[in-house]
Amino acid sequence: MKGITLPVLGIAAIFATSISSCNNQKSDDTMETKKGITKASFGQADGKEVFLYTLTNAKGTQVKISTYGGVVTSWIVPDKNDKKSSIVLGFDSLSGYLAKPPYFGALIGRYGNRIANGKFKIDTSEYTLATNNGRNHLHGGNKGFDKVVWESATENDSVPSLMLSYLSKDGEEGYPGNLNVDVRYTLTDDNELKIEYSAKTDKATVVNLTNHSYFNLTGNVSNTILDHTLMIDADNYTPVDSTLIPTGEIKPVKGTPFDFTKGEKIGLRIDSVKGGYDHNFVLNKKDSSLTKVASLSDDKSGRTLEVFTTEPGLQFYSGNFLDGSIKTSDGKAINQHSALCLETQHFPDSPNQPKFPSTLLLPGQQYHTVTVYKISVNK
């Protein structure tokens, strides 16, 4: 999804930062692969020390996560030729994230996606949020969950697991209620990255948490994602206006460029979608059980990514606003369609759309959603 900080990405801090995704093979191939979880200093932000955790499973797959923004900085897996690379965009150092790139790998909250005009009501009370995406509110505001330092705790019994916690205080970014948030990342031996989101509030509020990882299964940003094959188990989607706010309609995908029900190359019909894909898909699942909702595959690498979620929606964003101003450590530009996002979520602008599934959280209720990204390799 569009990050409004994109125009400042050409600043020196970005160009000086080496990016770990898709090209930095030398360090990846020499990494310690013992199963477990390790912790290292990653710098400072907001006067707090930031840590980088490395989760390693029994197969040697590694996921790195920063306590700044809860960011997945890399996910290193072999391809069909056993060459290791990261399938997500991310930086080697904290400075890349402090320069505010467009949400690479970050935890998003309080509200993932857009809220029209930065306003919503709960009963008779109206709340005003930052309008940081044109006239709309995006991804929690000027300083959403992607830009705060999370508290951390680890578990390493049978699988490496990282718990991140954050207290979003009443009035933060305009949202009501003190919101206690816990997000647990777990890397299983089946190459699944499981993300569990939990939250409680002391005042009625709205919550829509997600992760904003950018995927390129080739492991090389010189290859676009247009040749990736995508399947989304959704017969309907939510059309949007010119500012990417849902119109309130739910329309069938059949006969449109939004039909990925049988699996299609992303580039096949993208030119028929003005600006590219940045749309919410209404998943066919009928309840909140953990269900497979999408798959992404790449013939070059042999990799396949499956997405399972308890959520009712999936935002497919095709990296439309990547413009080459961010570069990899060996000087390769991250251009348009160099990566894509598959963000599990409730629908955009739900607080203003009574026909959409509710994102209202009341005191005494428990917010809990689960998403699993599973990677496999066909050799």
Q: Which residues are catalytic?
A: 212, 343
Count of C-beta atoms within a 10 Å radius of residue 139: 30
Q: List the alpha helices (DSSP H) in 89-180.
A: 94-98
Q: Which long-range contacts (CB under 8 A, 24 or more apart) does 39-47 make?
A: 39/154, 42/66, 42/67, 42/68, 42/93, 42/94, 43/68, 43/93, 43/94, 43/95, 44/94, 45/94, 45/98, 45/149, 46/148, 46/149
Would you say 229 and 216 are in contact if contact means Cβ atoms under 8 Å apart?
no
- Residues 6 or more apart from 295 whose CB is under 8 A from it? 230, 231, 263, 304, 305, 306, 307
